[in-house]
Chains A and B, each alone.
Chain A
Amino acid sequence: MSAIFKREFISYFTSPVGYAVLAAFTFFSGIFMWVYCMYPGTSNMSGVFQSMFFIVLFVIPLITMRLFAEDKKQKTDQALLTAPVGIPSIVTAKYLSALAMTGLCLSAFIIEGITLSFMSHPDWSVIIGNVFGMALLGSSFIAIGLFISSLTESVIVAGIVSFAVNVLISLLDTVASTIPADFIKDMFSSLSFQSRYSHFALGLFSLSDVLYFVTLTFFFLFLTDRVIERRRWA
């Protein structure tokens, strides 16, 4: 499993994807830091985290799109499937490599927090909590991306569909506001990534939000496992 993890993680930096993703993430978080912290003169990074939600929405499909689709296209998946390692291990290794890449992106917030510490006293508990929240959000996006990547051999299709699904789930609360039926409205709102994540951005940790992201991640990883398993026996 560690060999697959290493291979996948290193592959981000042997192709332009890793650098492009890191640079884009740093660029946008820096821009938002200027807009929400430096310019108005506050060390409260909530605005940065809320805005970065949409960047994560774009960036994660770039990280996940090639995880299985590329293997399938290059036919290297055969080697992977016949390797003496269980499918859950393969899925987990790929998931962890993408999560590590996301973690690397999130380190930009720590750099920004340290920078703000030189000027004021930012609320570190909120920054750390937000990084954790964004890691959970990223984790769910990765699991969805991984699942979609396992369904296709086109990297582009995997990326676009992942992005579309992420957008759809994220904006469910906006859709919900147009629905007259309260039950459906509440259900849609509670499924929305954005409404779940906004609590973290404010500095609120709730059991249901954490479990939502964790269980969603688990569910999509499980689905990915099933898809690969099916392919192994096909």
Chain B
Amino acid sequence: MSEQEKNINEEKNPSASNMTRRNKRRIISIASICLVLAAVILVNVIASVLTDRYAVFTTDITSDNSFGLSEESVKIAQGVKKDVTITFLTDKVNYEAYDTYCKQATNIADQLKKYSDGKISVEYKDLLKNPNIENEYKSETLSVTDVLVTCGEKYNLLKVEDMFNFELYGDYQYISSSKAESAFDTAIVKVTSDTETKIGIITDNTEDSYSTLESTLAANNYTLVPFSIENEQIPDDVATVICYAPTKDYSKDATDKLRKFLKNDDKYDRGLIFIAYRFEIECPNITDLLYDYGMKLEDGLAFETQTTSMMTTGDAYRNIAANFSSTKPYMSNYTDKDFPVLVSMSRAVTLVNESTTEPLLMFSSESGICPYSATDDWVWQDYITGNVIVMAQGAAGGDNGISRLIFSGSTEMWNSLLTQAEFTNKKYILNILNDINHREDTGVYLSEKVITKYDLSSVDSQTKVVTSVIIYAVLPVLILGVGVCVFIVRRRK
């Protein structure tokens, strides 16, 4: 139909012409809506994919990078070569609903995934809806708050106490800080590592528990092998032996075995960690062994008088040993070189051969040694010697390698105090073991993240109440007052 014929038709039937125009407009309108909707969906899908895959599209604007990854974690994620799955045993919504710290944990897992170039995946599997998970991990007691980090057959179960630090407020327990990043990193390193290192631990005359030490080491691919130095040979496959707080002296044969172990047929490259029992024992053979490595066991417990170095004011025997050796061995991965180690009820040692020995941990210049023979009326001021050594190492060896005998005066430092998050006992001890065993692929200990800092607790409550009342009562009333005034003025007009 020609243009002329069309115009004639429109003139004859104007309503039909309007209908056509309206339909045209409607079709154009619907088409444009569909087009815009498609564009919106496309943009969002692309943005989601990019954000999901690349960490660069998410920015943590908190001043202390609470939700971001540290450089160490980024390196670990980028270095993962095997497929690792982080499985939260509940839905994401439910897990994040527990606490802000849980949201932080899921965010850290997501970021590890983003940096891993597809090697790390994050899953949410509700334990209650997937009972087969429990069948898969029969030896474990699983809970909906747990996180499983798996790589092939290897796995590491992270319980809430591995992920967060808790504090009590009355009867209420709340999360005070997060160690989720360290927990994920350590778990990933553990499940992807092919190295399993054995450490011998002497069980003769040992009364103190070492369960925390054992679990800490297990989480870092170390296996403790208990054995009797009196009745057995030192296992062939261990390069490190721990003498854990013997309450009696070892026999001459036993200490000779240890000497031979350290000498290693002149190949050296071995480690012996002697952790002293806190009470006085007659131990001439152990004393001789320590003396061979340049250390003399003192007959007393180290005490501290400098209050800033005390864990609790007034407790002279539970102290912060921040006074490290000048060469700072075993601290290569410390970002803060003064980050303290907590030492409790520690025997002291002195160095008799400074060319082969060095102090590792010392108390302050105002510390001393309380002799076992001290009576109630002892004058502590008379016993202050300063810089009391509570941990030291002696070395022997040659061109082939060096063996180290490390003395530590505190049993608690190696067991119960490993759980003290604000101190670096765990990191320090692992550094020692990693160094002796030439391991680099073990635990990662980053500083805990605190999202909610209670920085207003020092402000007096009256100021807080008055300020709040001004904001939630006075201001709204003022706004409403202005509104009423405007209303009255307008009505009068």
Binding site for B on A (CB under 8 A): 13-14, 16, 18-20, 22-24, 26-31, 33-34, 37-44, 46, 108, 111-112, 115-116, 119-121, 123, 125-126, 129, 173-174, 176-177, 180, 189-190, 195, 198, 202-209, 211-212, 215-216, 218-219, 222-223, 226, 229-230, 233
Please report which residues of chain B, range 204-225, place their CB below 8 angstroms from some CB of chain A when the two chains form the complex.
none
Q: Are A33 and B61 in contact (CB under 8 A)?
A: no
Q: Which residues of B contact A33 (CB under 8 A)?
A: 468, 471-472
Taking CB atoms, residues of chain A closer than 8 Å to B33 are: 222-223, 226
Q: Which residues of A contact B58 (CB under 8 A)?
A: 204-207
Decide: A215 and B43 in contact? CB cutoff 8 A: yes
B29 partner residues in chain A, CB cutoff 8 A: 226, 229-230
With both chains docked as a complex, state the minimum distance between the C-beta of B32 and any C-beta of chain A, in angstroms.
7
Distance between Cα atoms of A126 and B454 in the complex (Å): 16
0/1 per residue, B26-59, Cβ < 8 Å to A?
1001001100110010011001101110000111
Q: Which B residues are in CB contact (< 8 Å) with A123?
A: 62-63
Q: How far is the CA of A51 from the CA of B162 in the complex (A)?
A: 29
Given contacts A26-B479, A112-B471, A120-B456, contact A177 B67 (CB under 8 A): no
Are B62 and A19 in touch, CB under 8 angstroms? no
When the two chains form their complex, are residues A121 and B487 in contact, meaning their CB atoms are under 8 A apart?
no
- A–B Cβ pairs within 8 angstroms, 21 of them: A14-B490, A19-B480, A28-B472, A29-B471, A33-B468, A41-B455, A41-B464, A42-B456, A46-B452, A108-B475, A119-B463, A189-B92, A198-B103, A203-B60, A203-B67, A206-B51, A208-B47, A208-B52, A218-B40, A229-B29, A230-B25
Say how far A202's CB is from chain B's closest CB, in angstroms: 6
- Bitwise, B82-96 to A at CB < 8 A (1) or not (0) is 000000000111101
Q: By the criterion CB–CB under 8 Å, are A203 and B61 in contact?
A: yes
Q: Is B483 an interface residue (CB 8 A)?
A: yes
A43: contacting residue among B47, B93, B455, B463, CB under 8 A: B455
Residue among B47, B63, B465, B482 making CB contact with A19, cutoff 8 Å: B482
Q: A33 CA to B456 CA in the complex, in Å?
A: 12
Complex-state Cα separation, A204 to B100, whole angstroms: 13
Q: How far is the CA of A212 from the CA of B453 in the complex (A)?
A: 31
How far is A42 from B43 in the complex, measured between Cα atoms in Å? 39
* A20-B480, A42-B455 known; A30+B62 contact, CB < 8 A: no
Q: Is the CB of B43 within 8 A of A26?
A: no
- In the complex, the chain B residue whose C-beta lies closest to that of A16 is B483
Distance in angstroms between the alpha carbons of A229 and B26 in the assembled complex = 10
- Measured in the bound complex, the distance between the Cα atoms of B40 and A219 in whole Å is 7
Min CB distance A114 to B, Å, is: 11
Contact residues of B between 462 and 486, Cβ < 8 Å to A: 463-465, 467-468, 471-473, 475-477, 479-480, 482-483, 486
Given the known interface contacts A26-B479, A202-B103, A203-B66, the answer about A31 and B472 at a Cβ–Cβ threshold of 8 Å is yes
Q: Given A42-B456, A119-B459, A206-B57, does the pair A219, B37 have CB atoms closer than 8 Å? A: yes
Residues on B with C-beta less than 8 A from A108 are 471, 475
A190 to chain B, nearest CB (A): 6
Q: Which residues of chain A are near B61, meaning CB under 8 Å?
A: 125-126, 129, 203-205
Q: What is the CA–CA distance of A159 and B91 in the complex, to the nearest angstrom? A: 34
Known: A23-B477, A30-B473, A43-B453. 12 other contacts (CB 8 A): A19-B486, A26-B475, A27-B475, A29-B472, A30-B471, A108-B475, A112-B471, A116-B456, A126-B62, A203-B60, A205-B59, A226-B29
CB distance from B63 to the nearest CB of A (A): 5
Instruction: Give the residues in chain A near B59, CB-CB below 8 Å.
Output: 204-206
Judge if B432 is at the interface, Cβ distance under 8 Å: no
Give chain B residues whose Cβ lies under 8 Å from the Cβ of A39.
464
Could you tell me if B47 and A207 are in contact, using CB atoms closer than 8 angstroms? Answer: yes
Q: Is the CB of B464 within 8 A of A26?
A: no
Residues from chain B with a CB closer than 8 A to the CB of A230 are 25-26, 29
CA distance A222 to B479 in the complex (A): 34
Q: Is B165 at the interface (CB under 8 A from chain A)?
A: no
Residues of A within 8 A of B25 (CB): 230, 233
Chain A residues, CB < 8 A from B467? 38, 115, 119
Any chain A CB within 8 A of the CB of B141?
no
Give B73-110 interface residues, CB cut-off 8 Å to A.
Answer: 91-94, 96, 100, 103-104, 107
Inter-chain contact A202/B48, CB cutoff 8 Å:
no
**CB-CB nearest in chain B for A24:** B476
Q: In the complex, what residues of B have CB within 8 A of residue A28's CB? A: 472
Closest to B51 in A: A208
Bound: A68/B33 CA distance, A: 20
Asked if B468 and A30 make an inter-chain contact with CB atoms under 8 angstroms apart, the answer reads yes
**Which B residue's beta carbon lies closest to that of A32?**
B472
Residue B451 interfacial (CB < 8 Å)? yes
Q: Is the CB of A202 within 8 A of B50?
A: no
Q: How far is the CB of A111 from chain B (nearest CB, A)?
A: 7
Whole-angstrom CA separation of A112 from B482 in the bound complex: 21
Q: Name A37's contact: one of B107, B456, B477 (CB within 8 Å).
A: B456
CB-based nearest B residue for A210: B47
Q: Which of A14, A126, A205, A222 contacts B36 (CB 8 A)?
A: A222
Q: Are A177 and B453 in contact (CB under 8 A)?
A: no
Docked-complex contact A13 and B456, CB < 8 angstroms: no
Whether the pair B459, A19 counts as a contact (CB closer than 8 A) is no
B459 to chain A: closest residue by CB: A119
B335 contacts the other chain (CB 8 A): no
List the 8 shortest-distance A-B pairs measured between CB atoms, nearest first: A30-B472, A19-B483, A30-B471, A41-B457, A23-B476, A208-B51, A34-B468, A203-B62
| B44 proximity list for chain A (CB < 8 A) | 208, 211-212, 215
Select A46's contact among B451, B479, B482, beta carbons within 8 Å.
Answer: B451
Q: A120 — which chain B residues lie within 8 A by C-beta?
A: 455-456, 459
B439 adjacent to chain A (CB < 8 Å): no
**For the complex, is B22 an interface residue (Cβ under 8 Å from A)?**
yes
| A27 in complex: contacting residue of B40, B451, B472, CB < 8 Å | B472
In the assembled complex, the Cα of A218 lies from the Cα of B36 at a distance in Å of 9
CB distance from A198 to the nearest CB of B (A): 7
Which residues of B are found within 8 Å of A202, using beta-carbon distances?
Answer: 62, 66-67, 100, 103-104, 107
**Which residues 102-124 of B sit at the A interface, judged by CB distance below 8 A?**
103-104, 107
CB B486 to nearest CB in A, in angstroms, measures 7
User: What does the 1/0 interface line of B427-456 toward A look like (CB < 8 Å)?
Assistant: 000000000000000000000000111111
Chain B residue contacts of A216, Cβ below 8 A: 40
Contacts of B473 in A (CB 8 A): 27, 30
- C-alpha gap A195/B58 in the complex (Å): 15
Q: Which residue of B lies closest to A127 (CB)?
A: B61
Give the docked Cα–Cα distance between A223 and B30 (Å).
Answer: 10
